[in-house]
């Protein structure tokens, strides 16, 4: 299992913000893709085709946890719950 820091440092990692488009517009991680949690199930093929580790995040970690669960049920293994956008922004600042 990879750590959040390892995932953030890996340029291959795909970062998915599962919040609403409005929340995403107000702030998000660099390189993040906005795929709201309610659309994850409809975009599984797109996410699988990324062929990379996937790190999901939201405001608190609840929605990203749901997204990770959906992706794992669809057979993806290399998916992680990054928790809160604020925690991840803090991790990025440590570099």
Question: Using one digit for the tens of pLDDT, what is the confidence trace for 3-53?
Answer: 999 999 999 999 999 999 999 999 999 999 999 999 999 999 999 999 999
**Structural domain spans, the chain:** 4-94
Confidence (pLDDT) at 92: 87
Catalytic residue status for 56: no
- Could you give the CA distance from residue 93 to residue 85 in angstroms, rounded to a whole number? 12
Fold of 4-94: Oxidized Rhodanese; domain 1 (3.40.250)
Confidence (pLDDT) at 95: 66
Return the C-alpha torsion angle 82, 73, 44, 4, nearest 10.
Answer: 20
Annotated catalytic residue within 7, 40, 58, 85: 58
Question: Using one digit for the tens of pLDDT, what is the confidence trace for 57-94?
Answer: 999 999 999 999 999 999 999 999 999 999 999 988 88
Is 28 within 8 Å of 12 (Cβ atoms)? no
């Amino acid at each position: 299992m990879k750590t959040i820091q390892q995932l953030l440092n890996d340029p291959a990692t795909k970062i998915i913000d599962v919040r609403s488009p409005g929340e995403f517009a107000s702030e998000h991680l660099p390189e993040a893709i906005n795929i709201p949690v309610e659309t994850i199930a409809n975009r599984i093929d797109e996410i699988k085709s990324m062929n990379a580790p996937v790190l999901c995040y939201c405001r608190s970690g609840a929605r990203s946890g749901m997204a990770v669960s959906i992706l794992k049920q669809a057979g993806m293994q290399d998916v992680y719950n990054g928790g809160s956008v604020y925690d991840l922004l803090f991790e990025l600042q440590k570099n």
